[in-house]
Amino acid sequence: EFEESGDPEKHFQDLLSLAKEGIQKGKVVAVGECGLDYDRLHFCPAEIQKKYFEKQFELAYITKLPMFLHMRAAAADFCEIVEKNKDRFSGGVTHSFTDSMDDCNKLLSFDKMYIGINGCSLKTTENLDVVKGIPVERMMIETDSPYCEIKNTHAGIGFVKTKWPSKKKEKYDQECVVKGRNEPCSVRQVLEVVAGCKGINDIDNLSRTLYHNTCRVFFSHDLDSAADALLAGDNSS
């Protein structure tokens, strides 16, 4: 989009204006999703991805926003760019993580970086081994709705305890999830798989830690006693 706009600098300034407007309205909390994806080079060549990924750190630096990041099959270049810009953003998460433990450790070497886990992160036994090695203090969970659901073929499915009735979208029922659509409530399943593969029995405390991680980076105004009280109320009910 930077290149296709015909004027990359104007495109950047438009993004900056949009971000500033969104911050004032309380609607924009991060720069992203941005990063590198070498599995999808048919959408954008690697050199263009790298050039403008680095440019997007300028948005984070000017706006003082954290970053919501994407890394797929591009760990070396991704980490090199983050290393060069690690003082230009306040924090961030590399979401939908599916890479190796070595790549995970590279990300964790950046003290402001968290690892985001969803259904795509829980497909194989190797994925689960990586999740086991991520400190909960450096983890976030997500659905990536409407994609990345935990399927029956995934290695993590054995840890899933909560399921909902489903119907096809043509027969929509507000008491059911839509068949084939990963809905926000499914974040509960991600929590259960993370707890299960890590051998954590106190799922409520795990959820509180993950919630606080998310607030610390993206929603610092929610990181207070009122939020804790709300969580405690949810758990007791």
- The annotation status of 42 as a binding-site residue, yes or no, is no
- The annotation status of 33 as a binding-site residue, yes or no, is yes
DSSP secondary structure of 171-219: G--TTSEETT---GGGHHHHHHHHHHHHT---HHHHHHHHHHHHHHHH-
Please give the Cα distance from 113 to 101 (Å, whole number).
15
Closest CA to 208 of 191, 193, 189: 191
Cβ(28)–Cβ(19) below 8 Å: yes
Q: Locate tokens 């984070």: which residue?
A: 60
Please give the Cα distance from 139 to 193 (Å, whole number).
13
Cβ(189)–Cβ(197) below 8 Å: no
Contacts of 154 (CB under 8 A, 6+ apart): 119, 122, 123, 124
Please give the Cα distance from 13 to 48 (Å, whole number).
18
3-state secondary structure of 237: coil
Q: Which residues are annotated as a binding site?
A: 33, 70, 95, 144
Q: Which residues are annotated as a binding site for a divalent metal cation?
A: 33, 70, 95, 144
